[in-house]
Every structure is written in structure tokens, then in C-alpha cells.
Chain A
Amino acid sequence: MTRTSAKIVVVVFVLSLATASFGAAVQMIFSSSVYSDVKGNGLKLPEGVACRGNVLVVADTGNGRLLKYTVDGSTVKGGQEIKVAEATDPVKVQMNSKGDIFALDGKLHRIARLSPEGAFKGYIDPAGVPSPSEFITKSFKIDGADNIYILDVFSGRVLVLDPSGKYVRQVAFPEKYGFITDLAVDQKGDIYLLDGADARVYEAHGDGSKGFSAVTKDMEQDMNFPANMTVDNTGQLYLADQNGGGVVVLGPDGSFRGRPIVFGWKEGLVRYPAELSINENGVFFVADRENSRVQVYTLVK
């Protein structure tokens, strides 16, 4: 091998290394903002967003209602109002595979189950929860098999319910933590906990019998106060840095992969993001609370 060829090999090797590490970074392209319902009435301080298939549901918290949109690629249309007396203060939303809508009422701390059309079907009141039987739902998630995961801050645990809302198991919070603000569940059923005060993520594998262990160190250098979290089908975690105004992405191993969304008023920027959702097609939604809108991005890998 000549000296020149050797140099070329070295340069290519270094460049390939650089490309590999760059490839781990996450990029999002801003697509559009949702400002109003189908009648043109504006959103007010929305705190919840969930997308499954081609349906997007928004908790328009300041207006005490839910809004249902259709998603075509990254284009959002519609905005049909759903208002139910049983959930007048919706703060978090989820959907199951059947299209049922689940809304957490921030005042009642109860999860209301609605039909895809928005008719109230009842509350998720799990029976048979072992002692302590009291629980208060701060957040919740629904997995691919429609199991329901409740973040119970009152008794410091995650309650796992079957699709009908019947108690299955519980996983206690880690021994020491700051304040748990949210949870996420990946495709394998592993549960993640987000500690907002310590900016740290915990994970419980499988049935959670081994409890939660830290995935990350304290990440206060990377974010201010993460308050919401979602996970995509590759296990990548997306954290809403509420006070820092932004979205932080972590790899499945907890490694920092970037802050693709940052603080501001202009489109594409967020202020106090409240809830995140990513659908099967890599379209990413942010309940941009203080900007009173929902922002839509497409994920570029």
C-alpha cells in the first residue's frame, strides 16, 4: 500500500467514525402548528396530546375540552370538539388500539374512558389494588396491548391494569428520588420513570419484579425540569423539558442524543411543553402549553 493510499484509508476511517457518531443525533423538522378547532376557535393552554394511527387527540385544558383531529402524513385536519361533564379539566390523553380515548382529569385525578366518538364510557377505577389501596393518578400511559399504566404519586408506585382496567401488578418507585413527574412504556413493556426534580430516568424491565434502576445520571446539565416523557418503537426516549422549554432525546441506554426542539414563541419553538406523542410513522406532536398550540414535527433519522 502506498503512503497516499494509507492516508486515504485513515481519512475515510476517521470520517466514518464521525458520521457514525453524528448518526446518533436526532433531528426533527418542523411541519405545522395546530391553533384551532374545526370551527376556528383557538386552543388555550393545551396540556395533553396523543396520536395513534391517523387520529390525534388534544387536551385543550384551558377550554376544558378534548379535540379530535385526523392526521395524514404530517398534515393535521379537523378538530372536532369533545366535551364531557365527567372530564372537564383534561390534562393528559391516551388512546388504545380500538380508538377509545382516555383523558385524565386534573381536578378529579381520575381517568375517563370515552368511545372513539367521544361518549363517556366510565372511569378507570381499578378494583383489587393491594394495600395501600389509595392512589392518585398524576399521569398514565397505554401500551400496544392496551394495558394501562398509572403513575400513582400518592403511594409511590406504578399500577399496571389490563385493558378492562382490572389490577394486574404494581411496581414501587425507586427507594430514593426527587419527584416523579411522568412515565413511559416501550414496546417490550419495560416501564420508564421520569424524575423531574433530579432530571433522571429510571427503568423497570419486564414484569418489574426487580424494581426500578437508574438509566441515566442526574442530567441537570442537559435540562431544567423534565415533566413529560414518551418513547418510540426503537426505545428512544423523548423528554419535555418544561421549565427549560425544549425537547431532549435520549438513546435507549440513556445517552444524550440532542435537544432538537428549543424555547421560543415562533413556530417550531416551544414554551413549557406539557405532553409529547409520537405515532407509528415518526410524526411527533408537542402540546405547546404556553404558546396555546400543538406543534407537529417529522422525525429525521
Chain B
Amino acid sequence: MKLYRRYRYALVLSVVWLVCLAAPAHAEDNRFKLKMGAKGKICLNCHVDFQDKLKDPFVHTPVKNGDCTGCHSPHASSHAKMLAEQVSKVCAGCHGEMVPKNAVSAHKVVVEGGCVKCHDPHSAKNKFNLLKAGNELCFGCHKDMGEAVGKVKFRHAPVEKGCLTCHNPHASEKSAFLLVDAVPSLCLGCHKTDAPSFAKQHMNYPVAKARCTTCHNPHGSNRGGILFDNVHQPVANRMCNQCHMDPSSSTPFATKKPGYELCRGCHSNAVNEMLGKNKIHWPVLGKKGCLNCHNPHASTQAKLLRAPMIPLCNTCHNDTIQRQERSQTKHPPIQEGNCTICHNPHASDADFLFAQPTIIGVCNTCHDWRNHTGHPLGEKVMDPRNRNVAVTCESCHRAHGTENKHFIWFTPMDEMCTQCHKQVGR
């Protein structure tokens, strides 16, 4: 009793505080002033087909509780499906943010608030209210991956088990590509690197510290050991020490020579030819040398390119790639990722690393300019704007695109022509 007297004021205050807290919550709970039990049932009076949804094995808790107004606004809404908020905000109301602040990678669809692209917000036949089960859901968007995985000769067991074995569908705090852990830690979860057979397969190199995906395709491949389809010959021949130091050395992964000098050991003709040209693509001579563009072990791409040409060239030349994306008229070689139709990626005697001696020659690879225009062109036809510059295709067109049709420099057309033909200008 003594104790009660001592703490009675605190007790009263706590009760008042709890009541205050509960009151707005209750008001929020019945903000539409619905009759008792009317929250969900009243909706089903009109949405009769919804009864079937409720029979699904997995029903979203608010639906199960008949709390339609937990997500929808029954009278009016600025959002589709009469949602009370944007989809992502409605979901985050209960599920919180699915992309952590320190995420290394995040699923685009999640970032864009497309929860319903994977989940049925009412009910589904699959766990987590997923629209489809297992990999089928992922391959709905990642069609190329689905096809590739279906065709490969050598499959990777975790892929069969499900994409979520290695990937987090929302975001990853540990790795790129939504991986649940970084490579090689992720791989080491299944592969025991201390097994003698493993060491033998890897020529005794301590690959437990290496990046497995520089050689192996984690989604399966047509080559044994799920190596990427295109394998560098020394790797295929298990001659790692042709480029790397001995596996027993203190720096087993260090290369025997730096930069392009290492590649020159076998590709001497190609390297010497590059060095003999007037212009060289500078990354070739950079610290990483050939490895700026090529994967020295294995690749999905021909010529062991690190990536398809557009994303690869985009690494440094994103201004050029973006220019094409913005361009009103698209240039097919760029659209198709064939930068090397016009440019030599290693070296050239011509400006802009052209694959032909002149720009007219480059354009002539696809366009018969004699049929295109009667306009005089060529080294002997000088540009009226500049006595040192010849009239070429580039005098009127920018091959990577402009904001004008047919990637001409100026618009309207007369503005283009009167650059030189001033006498006809208004």
C-alpha cells in the first residue's frame, strides 16, 4: 500500500499517456467512421469477385483482416487503384524500406516502387504473395538470362535451386548484382577450396582469395567447369604461370610484366602493329593496358571483351553514347553496338581512330555517298568557312547524333546550308 501511494501519481500519469497515445490511433483506425465490422465486408458487397482471391493459400494480412482501407482510400484518390498513397509508400507503411541506406546494389524495380511487379498485394498461390513461383518470376523480366540458363550444357546447381540462393531480390548491403555476399565469400559457402581436387583443378593457385567470376559463369555455361564460353588459351591450357608468378611465390597473382607488355609476349604482332600507328587508343598504354577492355581469363563476349561493346565503350565515352541516345535519328552501328565498324579500338593512322584512312571512306563502308548527294565532297573541296578544312560527310552530319533529324548539325535545313552558301541566306 505504501508502495502504491509512492507511485500512484506516476501510475495515473502513465495511464493518461497511454490513453492519449491510443486515442489518435483509434481515430486513424476508423478515419472513415465506418460502422463496426464494415471495414472490409462493406467493400465485398460490390467487389464480389474478390471472394475467390480470399481462397488463395497466401492472403495478404490486411486483406485477411478485411482492412481494405489500410491501403485504399474508399472515396477519392490521386493514385491508381484508389490507393491511399504511391504503391511504394503504401507497402513501406508496414514493411519498411526494402532498400537499406548503405545498400551496395538495389533492384531497379524496388527502387522505382514496383512492388506489385513481383508481389500480388491481395493474395497469391505462392509464398510471399509472389506472382509466380521460383525462377519463373525472375525470368519474366530477365528473359535473356532465362533463355541462357535453359540452354547451357553445364548447369550451376544453385541456379536450379533458385535465383534467391545467391541474390537478394530487393537489395544487397554486401555486393553488386544483389548478391547476398561478395565473391568469393559467396562461392566459398558451397565450394571447399582446401580439397586436394579443388587445388589441383586450380593449378595450386590460392584462388580462395580470387574473384571466381573472372573465369566462371555462375549461371552455367557450355564449357566444363562452367568457365565462360570464350576462354583465353592459357587458361584453357591451364597455363596460369604463363602470365602469373608461380603459385608458391609470395605474390602468386602478380603478373610477370606490367600493362600491355604482358600481352605482347604472345600477341607481339598485334601490339607492334598498334605501336606503329600514328594514333593509339590511350588505354592500351595505360596501367591496366589491354585489360581495360579485355578479360584475360574468360568472357561471355567474343574477343574476351569485358562487356558488350556499348557498355564497354560507355565506361569512358559515355558522352558519345548518350549523344546517340538523345539523337533524333539513330545510327545503326551504334544502336547495334558495333563501334568497331567505324573505329579501330586499338590504333589507327587516321584521326578519331577511324578504321579507314578518311571519314569519307568510313561512311562509304555502309553509305554510297555518290548516290546520297550531288554535293561535292573530298579532300580537294575546301569548306568555305575554313580554307584548311575539306568538305566531308562530317561537314553536315555528326555520326554520333544530334538533336536534329538525320543527325545534321543545324536546323532548319536552310540554317545548315547557309553556313556555307551565304548568298542564299535570308
A and B are interacting partners: yes
* A→B interface (CB under 8 Å): 35-36, 42-45, 89, 106-107, 109, 132, 134, 136, 138, 153-156, 173, 178-179, 181, 196-197, 220, 224-225, 243-244, 265-266, 290-293
Are B386 and A291 in contact (CB-based, < 8 A)?
A: yes
Enumerate B59-79 residues with CB–CB distance to A below 8 Å. Answer: none
Interface assignment of B285: CB less than 8 Å from any CB of chain A: yes
Q: A197-B315, A244-B319 are in contact. Are A291 and B283 (CB under 8 A)?
A: no
Q: Which residues of B contact A (CB under 8 A)?
A: 258-259, 261, 276-279, 282-283, 285-287, 315-320, 351, 383, 385-389, 419
> Across the interface, do A154 and B259 meet the contact criterion of CB distance under 8 Å?
yes
Enumerate chain B residues within 8 angstroms of A138, measured Cβ to Cβ: 282, 285
A-B contact pairs, 14 of them (CB 8 A): A35-B386, A134-B261, A153-B282, A153-B285, A153-B287, A156-B287, A173-B287, A181-B282, A196-B316, A224-B319, A243-B317, A244-B319, A266-B385, A291-B388
**CB < 8 Å neighbour of B386 from A156, A220, A292:** A292
* CB nearest to B351 among chain A residues: A45
Nearest CB in chain B to that of A136: its residue: B285
Query: Known: A106-B278, A109-B285, A154-B259. Contact between A197 and B386, CB under 8 A?
Result: no
Residue of B nearest to A42 (CB): B388
Determine the distance from Cα of A44 to Cα of B387 in the docked complex, in whole angstroms.
Answer: 11
| Set A107, A154, A197, A293: member contacting B278, Cβ < 8 A | A107
Q: How far is the CA of A36 from the CA of B387 in the complex (A)?
A: 10
Partner of A178, one of B278, B316, B387: B316
Enumerate chain A residues within 8 angstroms of B285, measured Cβ to Cβ. 109, 136, 138, 153-154
Cα A138 to Cα B284 in complex, Å, equals: 12
Q: Give the residue among B259, B282, B283, B386 with the most A Cβ atoms within 10 A.
A: B386
Q: For the complex formed, measure the closest distance between the CB of B126 and the CB atoms of chain A, giving whole angstroms.
A: 42
- Complex CA–CA separation, A220 to B276 (angstroms): 33
CB-nearest residue of chain B relative to A108? Answer: B275
**Distance A35 CA – B382 CA, assembled complex (angstroms):** 14
* Measured CA separation A45–B318 after assembly (Å): 25
Smallest Cβ distance from B264 to chain A, in angstroms? 12
Please state if B278 and A155 are interface contacts (CB–CB under 8 Å): no
**CB-CB nearest in chain A for B352:** A272
Closest to A138 in B: B282
A197 to B278, CA, bound (A): 22
From B258, B319, B419, contact of A154 by CB (8 A): B258
Chain A residues, CB < 8 A from B277: 107
In the assembled complex, the CB of B121 is this many whole angstroms from the nearest CB of chain A, namely: 39
Give A252 to B252 CA distance when docked, in angstroms: 44
A241 and chain B: residue at smallest CB distance: B319
> In whole Å, how far is B281's beta carbon from the nearest beta carbon of chain A?
10
Residues of the B chain whose Cβ atoms lie less than 8 Å from the Cβ of A134: 258-259, 261
Instruction: Report B-chain residues with C-beta under 8 Å of the C-beta of A266.
Output: 385
- Shortest CB-to-CB span from A218 to chain B, Å, is 11
| Bound CA–CA A280/B385 (angstroms) | 31
Give bound CA distance, A89 to B351, whole Å: 13
Question: Is the Cβ of A265 less than 8 Å from the Cβ of B282?
Answer: no
Complex: A123 Cα to B47 Cα, angstroms: 87
* Shortest Cβ distance from residue B207 to the other chain A in the assembled complex, whole angstroms: 25
Least CB separation from A153: chain B residue: B286
Contact A197 B316 (CB under 8 A): yes
When distances are taken between beta carbons in the complex, the residues of chain B under 8 Å from A106 are: 278-279
| Residues of chain A contacted by B283 (CB below 8 angstroms) | 179
Please tell me if the beta carbons of A155 and B287 are within 8 angstroms of each other in the complex: yes
Cβ of A232 to closest chain B Cβ, rounded Å: 26
Contacting B318 at CB < 8 Å: which of A44, A153, A220?
A: A220
Which of chain B's residues have a CB closer than 8 A to the CB of A45?
351
Q: A106-B279, A136-B285, A138-B285 are in contact. Are A35 and B388 (CB under 8 A)?
A: yes
New contact pairs (7) apart from A44-B388, A173-B287, A225-B319, CB-CB < 8 Å:
A35-B386, A138-B282, A156-B287, A179-B282, A244-B319, A265-B386, A293-B386
